Structure 1
Amino acid sequence: MSFNQCEQAILNSCEQLFEDALSFTEDMVQQYGVLNHEQGVLDIVERQLCALKLPVERVAMKHSDMCGHALYAPVPWDHENKYNLVSQLNKGAPGKTLVLNGHLDVVSSDPADMWTQAPNQPWRKDGWLYGRGAGDMQSGVAAMIFAVHAIQHAGYTIKSPLIIQAVVEEECSGNGALACLQQGFGGDFVLIPEPFGPQIYAAQVGVLWFKLLVRGRPAHVLDTSAGDNAIEKIQKLIPWLKSLEAELNELERPAPYDQIAQPFNLNIGKIKGGNWASSVPAHAEMEGRIGFPPGMSASHIMQRVNDCIEQAALKDKAFVSQKPILRFHGFRSEGHIVDTGHAGVGLLANCHHTLLGKEPEHYLSTCTTDLRAFHFYSRTAGTCYGPIAKNIHGVDECVDIESIRHTLKTYALFISRWCQLEKK
């Protein structure tokens, strides 16, 4: 490892501040910022930015401005009163703008009684920090914010333009990042500390969310044949959707996803129906997600899902009386291939090599991130590089503590080499 005096001072600063970054992560985890309950974590981050003497402003999610944009994901909830947090340094200064982006929202931890400890009460064990959001991705948010602070703490001022974005709704729509970009908080290169470990994020798939509603006919269970069971009917659609999943994976795996046996996954994530155990259910609803290859448009996969359900309704006599109702909400996010030849990616790889003494591996993602917003909105180059996490979206989610330290140092080193610094 070879560092100049400035870099060594910054890395020393990272060490001195590391426990503060961990405590900040734990503060965010305690807020349990699930969808439409993000205010607590927003308050924590805003206070932390102010405490670090970083400028902060609230960037509203204006439905009227976003709804006409091609990247907007329609959602059934109100986000008119929601906002993201942005810290913008040196607007208009010479140099290329670096953006650090991370999301604050987390997914539900239910059922909480499956966890070893309460999911919103972080705990440390054997080098891991546990809690919902610890990995995905509040430790990454802490690392990127404290990377900026570490440079200032080491006695240097960042003179180049830099933007920190802490956004909401990454887990369901991407509308938070879109709102920031629409209101001018973009840049020339973006780094996102998603918890895929210290490797170069090289591609991500497209993701589509959908909802199906099936009607039945209610009846007393003394004669179930007099009714039409909506819950049983809706389950008949799953094999049809699985056949679409198989088709995508068997016939439509473009490079580099031809390296992965099944990159485009279907998930039936939610199902509900009926209203009484002794009544034949008259309604059932199912929500799901399907991945699709880079290069395929959102409108195309929507049509494919629609055709799949149409075929099911046509060929299964269970749907003779009424077809399933298909709706799309949330993600309709196209996939893309990262430009790993970009100078920013090369600089990140150089920082990785300087710290670890080896070249970083590349990672092909079978999910999506807010990186797509930057790619499709303004063709902004960027990648993800972050801590190592386990059980994200699962029980006992946790993040490797030493990997947070490495992420903090890598981001601080990257900023020092990307931006112009001045000794205070």
Structure 2
Amino acid sequence: MSHNTTFPAVRDITAAEQRILNSCDSVFEEVLEFTENMVSQYGVLNHEQGVLDVVEDRLTRLDLAPQRVHMKHHALCSHPLYAPVDWDHDHKYNLVSQLNPGAAGKSLVLNGHLDVVSAEPSDMWSRPPHQPWRHEGWLYGRGAGDMQSGVAAMIYAVHAIRHAGFTITSPLTIQAVVEEECSGNGTLACLNQGFGGDFALIPEPFGAQIYTGQVGVLWFKLTVKGKPAHVLDTSAGINAIEKLQRLIPWLKGLEAELNEHHRQAPYDTMAQPFNLNIGKMEGGNWASSVPSHAQLEARIGFPPGMSANEIMQKVSDCIEEAIAKDPAFADQRPILRFHGFRSEGHLVDMKHDGIRELSAAHQSLTHAEPAHYLSTCTTDLRAFHFYSRTAGTCYGPVAQNIHGVDECVNIESIRQTLKTYALFISRWGQLESRS
């Protein structure tokens, strides 16, 4: 796929479009208040109900008729894009609002996730992470940037058009999903139940730029067992925590190999696009006992074009080599399990009409060409690409410290996202004036 885009000439904003942009300004304070309401629910994994309730209520109040789209585990788990997880999500659901399903015209999907990652330890934050606050042009709180402000902007872009006196007559679908941060199964459930479109737009917090591609991501767990003993003679035991740590250099070697030998264009311009992260470790049960068990959870990135099976095999081969060469594993083999993300990377089709129209909307508002952003993470965009070869991209607010301490989003960048989405929707789809 080419990453060279021929940008269209800047289009003047029409009187009708200006009405829509003025409407965006008039509802903007509601966008911020809606974002703060979502942030205050702290929708971490398996505790998303509060934020779902907030969004369902707001969609209803905006006359956007939300419906609950359940995860349906049995229907999902046989799908090749399903990411196996350790928890039950049969009781979970996403929220979908459909305008004009089956109508003539190009269809559009606006997709955003409601779930957030843990903010622990919360005492590192300036204020409690689930109590949003504004300071010097930034809105703070877990999820403010990633990505509840974007969800608010995309929903209110639709509302602003209607508030300005227009009716959207072409097909448009809003998806507010769960489990983006760990599996992507929420968006997959929506697509698997027929809620697709011709183009997908996701307001992830990468700023007012065109998202051009993303890496693959694999999650895995490694568990080792040791031999418990009293610390009066530690040599009588085998320390599982220390034993587990011996595997990390081997995994770092795999990371180095991926970055040295698999950095093909466009990722060849980056020194290290494929990152290993040891995200969680636990083990033992008593400070004065040699620990008998330990486990780590990790994430590794891999290049577009490499399949999930290929990267899983590479991780497996890496551990097998460690077992063969390190005598510490002679007595008992580590247990390797894959869970959560097994998501392949892809590049965005930069010649698609949707990309050109989004670029044109950006130019009309800013009088400048949009920058491009090549990502070293993953988003739910992959589900649209691999499920139905639906084109799409990300374009959203500017955030800082996402997944970190004092996460925040630039308030004016939310306004920019709101207006760009409203202008894009008005040009991509079909509108009728009610006045």
Which category describes the TM-score, using the shorter chain as reference length?
Answer: over 0.9
TM-score between the two structures when normalised by the length of structure 2: 0.97
Match 2:162 to one of 136, 146, 152:
152
Deviation per CA, 1:114-133, whole angstroms, max 9, x where unpaired?
Answer: 00000000000010000000
Q: Distance in 2 between matches of 1:31 and 1:42?
A: 9
Match of 1:346 in 2: 356
Match of 1:202 in 2: 212
Q: Distance in 1 between matches of 2:399 and 2:15?
A: 32
Deviation at 1:3, TM superposition (A): 1.2
Q: Distance in 2 between matches of 1:318 and 1:81?
A: 43
Q: Distance in 1 between matches of 2:86 and 2:258?
A: 28
Deviation per CA, 1:356-376, whole angstroms, max 9, x where unpaired?
Answer: 111011100000000000000
1:400 aligns with 2:410: yes
Match 1:217 to one of 227, 233, 238:
227
Match of 2:76 in 1: 66
Deviation at 1:338, TM superposition (A): 0.4
Match of 2:101 in 1: 91
Match 2:306 to one of 293, 296, 302:
296
Q: Distance in 2 between matches of 1:370 and 1:99?
A: 12
Aligned to 1:262, what secondary structure does the other structure show? coil
Deviation per CA, 1:221-270, whole angstroms, max 9, x where unpaired?
Answer: 00000000000000000000000000000111010000111000000000
TM-score between the two structures when normalised by the length of structure 1: 1.00
Match of 1:250 in 2: 260
1:367 aligns with 2:358: no
Letter in 1 for 2:240: A
Letter in 1 for 2:384: F
C-alpha RMSD of matched pairs (Å): 0.5
Match 1:315 to one of 317, 321, 325:
325
Aligned to 2:340, what secondary structure does the other structure show? coil
Q: Distance in 2 between matches of 1:91 and 1:373?
A: 20
Deviation at 1:2, TM superposition (A): 2.6
Match of 2:281 in 1: 271
Q: Distance in 2 between matches of 1:70 and 1:53?
A: 36
1:333 aligns with 2:366: no
Match of 2:115 in 1: 105
- Percent identity over paired residues: 75
Match of 1:175 in 2: 185
1:356 aligns with 2:371: no
Q: Distance in 2 between matches of 1:354 and 1:96?
A: 21
Deviation per CA, 1:260-314, whole angstroms, max 9, x where unpaired?
Answer: 1100000000000000000000000000000000000000000000000011011
Match of 2:151 in 1: 141
Q: Distance in 2 between matches of 1:227 and 1:54?
A: 62
Q: Distance in 2 between matches of 1:394 and 1:313?
A: 35
Match of 1:29 in 2: 39
Which consecutive segments of 4 or more residues in structure 1 shift more than 2 A? none
1:262 aligns with 2:308: no
Match 1:40 to one of 42, 50, 60:
50
Q: Distance in 2 between matches of 1:267 and 1:42?
A: 30
Match 1:123 to one of 120, 123, 133:
133
Match of 1:287 in 2: 297
Letter in 2 for 1:54: L
